[in-house]
Amino acid sequence: VQVAGSNLNPQDGMQDDIYIINQKLVLDVVYGKLIVKAAFEIIKELSSGAFGRVLQMKLIQTHDVVIIKRLPYVDPEKKRMADEEVSTLKQVHGGNLRNEIDNKMKQMTIKDRKMCTYKHLFFILSGLNVLHSLGIVHRDLKPENILIDSDGNAKIGDFGLAQEMASKLYLKAVGTKIYSPPEAHLLDKMTMESDVWAVGVIAIEMITGQHPFEGRTQEITISNIKNNKYCQFPDYVEGELKAMIMKMLNMV
């Protein structure tokens, strides 16, 4: 792969497989195999973490802007998970969970919405369990980063801010502010529990269509999060589902 204006090469400790992803196109570009011959210009680095570097680049011939994810060479497990992310992106026909919450789920009966919430939570928490078992914190879980595949199943995506805990007690807070827990705002730290908290917020959004700490502005929402001031849940959020969500949000 010819890359203009950059130091992308197989000697830099990165994996040979480069994934080029945009909304219209998913290509597996393998170094040394002429699948795609193109020249790229780096626009900027978007993020770096446990899953490598995420770069915004421009295809010089067509001026298309794409996102390239480069993987650490040494860890086959992370490569496997990135392979699965790309595979999921290829299968995505239902968009992301934000689209589903704002459109499809709003039209459902309460009973069907609950069933859909349970189903999506099962897949989200299963994926999160795998991440956490590897010592990795996602740090940016939100409906936009939950993809819906062709079978209607939820898949965690966008690992650009994911990072290993290693021997650290906590990581620096990053990600989307209204999906970050109180400790991220007050103490500038995140842990695996921060991911679980974000899933609790997502769960309430799925079942009610509303962020549990929603205010008139983002600043008020963040203030509500800091002070654990949440909206009153509707009566149909009850029983085991309510207990589970309350525990995720540290409200018990």
Catalytic residue ranges: 140
- Residue 162 to residues 104, 128, 157: CA-CA distances in angstroms? 29, 12, 10
Strands 39-49 and 2-4: parallel
- For 22-80, the DSSP string reads -SS-EEEEETTSTT---EEEEEEEEEEETTEEEEEEEETTT--EEEEEEEETT-HHHHH
In the block, tokens 């939570």 appear at 121
12, with CB counted inside 10 A (0-12, 13-18, 19+), is exposed
Compute the residue count for the chain: 252
Contact 96, 88 (CB under 8 A): no
Separation between Cα atoms, residue 252 and residue 247, nearest integer Å: 6
- Could you give the 3-state DSSP secondary structure of residue 4? strand
Separation between Cα atoms, residue 157 and residue 252, nearest integer Å: 29
- Could you give the 3-state DSSP secondary structure of residue 236? coil
Separation between Cα atoms, residue 22 and residue 52, nearest integer Å: 18
